[in-house]
């Protein structure tokens, strides 16, 4: 695949388009950094409205949204939550808002689709090392795109 384009859509949303052959992009990857719970609800809502608009305006066959959502998504709680898998850790308010976005866009929450030990799930650690949370997420528009989702505990460059 070749890079077709990269755009910074907002301060919190970027879009990378890849193409395989021809002029039509085959894959779009949205990279995001959502506001934390310390931000006003209006700013959080504006972020999700922007993300949904950019997502819906994009017509590539494969779409992936990846990034720091500052959200915790637990396991599926009801049959209506088909977009959420059964292997999440826990829920918080930001996770509820992310779940609403996923349901509205009919996408799939990748992290919760695969059973993993806790050490391969958390993406944030408190400064004292006592607390660990899974706040970075992978969302796809086609479930068969994913064969696994796990956190790499150490990355050496």
Q: Domain boundaries in the chain?
A: 2-145
Q: What is the pLDDT of residue 144?
A: 80
Q: How far from 96 is each of 3, 63, 143, CA to CA, in Å?
A: 33, 22, 21
Q: Is the pLDDT of residue 29 over 90?
A: yes
CB 134 within 8 A of CB 109: no
What number is the average pLDDT over the span 75-82? 85
Q: Is the pLDDT of residue 23 over 90?
A: no
CA distance 125 to 148: 22
CB 139 within 8 A of CB 66: yes
Averaging pLDDT over each range in 71-75, 101-105, 141-145, which range is the top one? 101-105
What's the helix, strand, coil split of the chain in %, to 5?
Answer: 25, 25, 50
What number is the average pLDDT over the span 135-149? 90
CATH architecture for residues 2-145: 4-Layer Sandwich (3.60)
What number is the average pLDDT over the span 80-88? 88
Q: What is the pLDDT of residue 152?
A: 78
């Amino acid at each position: 695949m070749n890079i077709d384009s990269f755009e910074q859509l907002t301060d919190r949303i970027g879009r990378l388009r890849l193409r395989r052959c021809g002029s039509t992009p085959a894959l779009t990857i949205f990279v995001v950094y959502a506001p934390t719970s310390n931000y006003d609800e209006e700013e959080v809502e504006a972020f999700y409205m922007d993300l949904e608009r950019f997502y819906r305006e994009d017509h590539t066959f494969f779409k992936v949204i990846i990034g720091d959502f500052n959200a915790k998504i637990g396991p599926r709680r009801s049959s209506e939550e088909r977009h959420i898998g059964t292997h999440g850790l826990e829920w918080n308010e930001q996770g509820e808002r992310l779940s609403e976005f996923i349901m509205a866009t009919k996408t799939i929450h990748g992290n919760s689709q695969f059973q993993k030990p806790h050490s391969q799930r958390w993406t944030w650690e408190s400064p004292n090392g006592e607390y660990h949370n899974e706040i970075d997420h992978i969302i796809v528009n086609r479930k068969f795109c994913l064969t696994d989702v796990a956190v790499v505990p150490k990355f050496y460059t």
